[in-house]
Structure 1
């Protein structure tokens, strides 16, 4: 299967040349910026987005806090599993990087010796984007947008075919959604247990944020009625 997309007469290769051709006409500073974003920047941005989502969910509170945070814990775990699943896929397909089979590409990343299908970067970012979407719709849409940008960058850099990116998107999405039900069954009780502990509650809820329902309080905190009762007893 190493001959997949080796001919330049198919849409996959044509689109590769079209997108990578933008790099030839762009200023060098822009190429360096895209190369940095496609290699490190967007991955870091995705991690920061997950952290921001955790902070937002903590401050919001509510009945679904534990399940939302469980989905956020599942997000990086799913991304790691997806990359591990990709290891045998790459070994089976054995598709060389496009710059090894096609001349005239403006390659913005050097030192690549591994196979091309599917893209680890696309797999990681889309898995995290979809995982975020399961936890929080607005943050998830931003995460999916970052994943799409990552895929574009990898083709722009000349290190992946468009189908490498699409395959990574499909793999990341599949791992997150297919394994999400058992993962949530395991992780949600853990987060609820943390939420119910005096020490762990601050990891799950911001100080002063109440839990499920009007009567829920932070463990260890005293209600106004309890304080009034203590005052009467003291008097």
Structure 2
């Protein structure tokens, strides 16, 4: 399946190559901007709502760290090291393939944003899926790398966010009370 996707990708127009390569990183900035908008939106909402927005990126970081630990144990070589022509340059030899960190971050960001702002689901999940597919399309991951990364981000980031929201909520209340005294 990897070879079929990469072969198809190489036959697409150059502008699509550029979009696929830049789109993954640009998507991460879109998620960061959505967290900022969600925080502004939740600023006057109940403290727990803002705490969920704040806990979301912490959940994404947690999922990312777990994926990095998994990479050090699995140590799967990148598929682009197999002599197949790809759109993207192959990462260095010590940058392992399984699971896809970009996908973990994208899926984790989508899932935690939906915790805080449910109506974003129709935007953020397709964006995360497109970002995941782009990793295979440009040739730096196998399909199972992105599938595992998607599941990891989807499960761990919101779980961690929900576990810490109870600790973040009082901090939000305290910060709000201190800001209102000024």
> What is the TM-score of this pair, normalised by structure 2?
0.89
CA–CA distance in structure 2, aligned partners of residues 78 and 109 of structure 1: 30
The CA deviation at 1:66 is 1.4
Match of 2:37 among 48, 52, 58: 52
What is the aligned length?
181
Q: Does the 8 Å CA contact 1:129/1:141 hold for their aligned counterparts?
A: no
CA–CA distance in structure 2, aligned partners of residues 26 and 181 of structure 1: 42
- Structure 1 segment 140-219 matched on structure 2, within 5 A: 140-197=121-178, 199=179
Q: Please state which structure has a larger fraction of its residues in helix.
A: 2
Q: Where does the alignment leave 5 or more consecutive residues of structure 1 unmatched? A: 1-13, 202-218, 221-235
1:9 is aligned to none
Q: Deviations over 1:58-84 (max 9, x none)?
A: 3xx44xx31111111111111111111
The CA deviation at 1:140 is 4.0
The CA deviation at 1:138 is 1.5
Match of 1:117 among 90, 93, 98: 98
Change in Cα spacing, 1:31 to 1:181, as seen in structure 2 (3 Å) is closer
Matched, 1:30 2:10: no
> What is the TM-score of this pair, normalised by structure 1?
0.71
Q: Does the 8 Å CA contact 1:108/1:157 hold for their aligned counterparts?
A: yes
Q: Deviations over 1:133-164 (max 9, x none)?
A: 11110124422222111101101010001111
1:93 is aligned to 74
Superposed CA RMSD: 1.9
Q: Does the 8 Å CA contact 2:56/2:157 hold for their aligned counterparts?
A: yes
Q: Does the 8 Å CA contact 1:90/1:117 hold for their aligned counterparts?
A: yes
CA–CA distance in structure 1, aligned partners of residues 54 and 30 of structure 2: 17
The structure with the larger Rg is 1
